[in-house]
Amino acid sequence: MKNVFETKVYYSDTDAYGVVWHGSYLRWLEKGRVDLCDSMGLDLVTLKNSDILLPVTNMNVRYKASARLNDTVIIETWIEKFNSLSITFKQVIKSKETGKIFIEALFDVVAITEAGKLYRRLPDVISNVLDKGFEKCPQLV
């Protein structure tokens, strides 16, 4: 399963050099991960109410080129892999017009309680959804 959305680069997304500010990319990447979880039936508010939080524990963002004002960018997000402890999201931001890749990113998340205690295994509500998603898309494994 993949989440794909596009957005126009607005003036507020750029920095003093006229290119997209690095924080704007991170905001779009976060939206992609949240939207993917939502589309899989993993509403983060519902999970929080069940004492399950999914913080980012590692991020690897490769800035390959810069998007500019008025560009339209496409943000693609999918689950690259998961195991009993963590989930790795793969994300790409690219130009709608040319397909040029601006960003390649990997984000790892784990499940913790609101008190900060690590779940030793992903809670069933999450692992069951992930298992079903990978059954439907075995090419992602």
Report the distance separating Cα 63 and Cα 70, nearest Å: 19
Q: Are 29 and 75 in contact (CB under 8 A)?
A: yes
pLDDT of residue 1: 85
Catalytic residue among 13, 15, 108, 131: 15
15 is catalytic: yes
Residue 46, burial from CB neighbour count under 10 angstroms (0-12, 13-18, 19+): exposed
Confidence of residue 138 (pLDDT cuts 50, 70, 90): very low
Report the distance separating Cα 88 and Cα 79, nearest Å: 6
Q: What is the pTM of this model?
A: 0.91
Full domain range(s) for residue 32 = 2-140
pLDDT of residue 135: 60
The mean pLDDT value of the chain amounts to 94
The first and second tokens of residue 131, run together, are 């298992």
For residue 95, is pLDDT > 80? yes
Q: How many residues does the chain have?
A: 141
CATH number of the domain where residue 45 is located: 3.10.129.10
Q: How far is CA 114 from CA 3, 45, 48, 51, 81, in A?
A: 27, 12, 8, 6, 25
Collapsing DSSP states into helix, strand and coil, what is residue 10? coil
Q: How many domains is the chain built from? A: 1
For residue 20, is pLDDT > 50? yes
- Over pLDDT 90: what percentage of the chain? 91
Cα 7 to its chain centre, rounded Å, is 15
